[in-house]
Amino acid sequence: MTNHKDTGERQQKIIVFLLFIVLVLISIVVGTFNKINLLEKSPVTEIPDIEPVVEEVVESVGKIAIIIDDFGYRNDKVSEGFLSMDTEMTYAVIPGHEHSQTMSKKASQSGYEVIAHMPMGSTIPSFGEEEYIIKASMTSGEIEARMNKVLQHLPEIVGMNNHQGSSASANRRVMNVMGTVLKEHGKYFLDSRTTKETQAESVMRLIGVPTGRRHVFLDNNPDETSITQQLNLLAETAKANGFAVGIGHVKKHTLNVLQREIPKLKADNYEFVFISKVVN
């Protein structure tokens, strides 16, 4: 027989459970309506239009690449002045002198480009670099050995230009041997053009060594007015051709002019670059 008491208890439990479900549903519905009301009452924040920032690109008037020759002869305030210039400069270190290795390291560590200012045979006597100088009378083996000696002496260098060298740079065999060594080590050559008979640039191009030439000597005349005129000529050449290479020396007057005039040229949108950016 069915127990009426048990049946009544089950019915009560079912009713309580159904009431619980109803209360839960009511709670959900009320919560949903409240969220809708809050959204309707909340003010809409407008996102302002943001115009994209467009950086103005200033077109270069021309690239100016300057080599300062004869680093290594001295380690003084003039040298330090060049090593504190806020521009890209290439410093040519002549091997075999008291300060050659020191200045090469200093220049490289200061963020400048360093090349070897290669002593080459000329009619002008030179002192201090006898162990490194290359002469047209040397055998190909002797030339190669001296090239490798310079590369070991100045490991920071990325290229080379000639110091004097009117006789050696006019000799195609000499330049061919030098170029072969440079190509093997991934270095470039900049022809200082100390003689009209130079074969350096043409031979380097045939071998496949990145190369270029000097356009203007800045300080053959040490007078600051003359140096300024030569620097302006260099700028005019860069404007006309897209780039130009100038060579100066570690001299006080040269430093004075460059410190004074380079900021003006930069303001006129001339771009100063390392020699490695203009050889090809």
Judge whether 171 and 199 are in contact, CB under 8 Å: yes
- pLDDT of 12 reads 66
Neighbours of 45 (CB within 10 A): 6
Range of weakest confidence among 47-61, 104-118, 136-150, 256-270? 47-61
For residue 242, the model assigns a pLDDT of 98
Report, as an integer, the average pLDDT of 270-276: 98
Is 90 exceeded by the pLDDT of residue 19?
no
Question: Is the pLDDT at 32 greater than 70, yes or no?
Answer: no
Give residue 116's pLDDT. Answer: 98
* pLDDT reported for residue 121: 77
> For 70-103, b where at least 16 C-beta lie within 10 A, e where not — what string?
bbbbebeebbebbbebebbbbbbbbbbbebbbeb
Task: Report pLDDT for 38.
Answer: 45
Q: Could you read off the pLDDT of 74-95 as tens digits, one per residue?
A: 999 999 999 999 999 999 999 9
Measured CA to CA, the distance from residue 192 to residue 190 in angstroms comes to 6
Task: Check pLDDT > 60 for residue 34.
Answer: no
Reported pTM: 0.79
The whole-number average pLDDT for the span 157-185 is 95
Read off the pLDDT of residues 139-164 as tens digits, 9 standing for 90 and up: 999 999 999 999 999 999 999 999 98
**DSSP class of residue 20?**
H
Cβ-in-10-Å burial (0-12, 13-18, 19+) of 34 comes to: exposed
pLDDT of 167: 87
> Per residue in 209-265, pLDDT tens?
999 999 999 999 999 999 999 999 999 999 999 999 999 999 999 999 999 999 999
Range name among 11-25, 59-73, 234-248 with the lowest pLDDT average = 11-25
Tell which wins on pLDDT, 164 or 68: 68
Distance (Å, whole) CA 235 – CA 65: 10
Joined tokens for residue 250: 């570690």
Roughly what angle, to the nearest 10 degrees, separates helices 224-241 and 252-267? Answer: 40
What domains, with CATH codes, occur in the chain? 62-277 (3.20.20.370)
Binning pLDDT at 50, 70 and 90, where does residue 179 land? very high
Q: Which residue has the tokens 């220049």?
A: 107
Looking at residue 249, its pLDDT comes to 98
Q: What is the pLDDT of residue 2?
A: 47
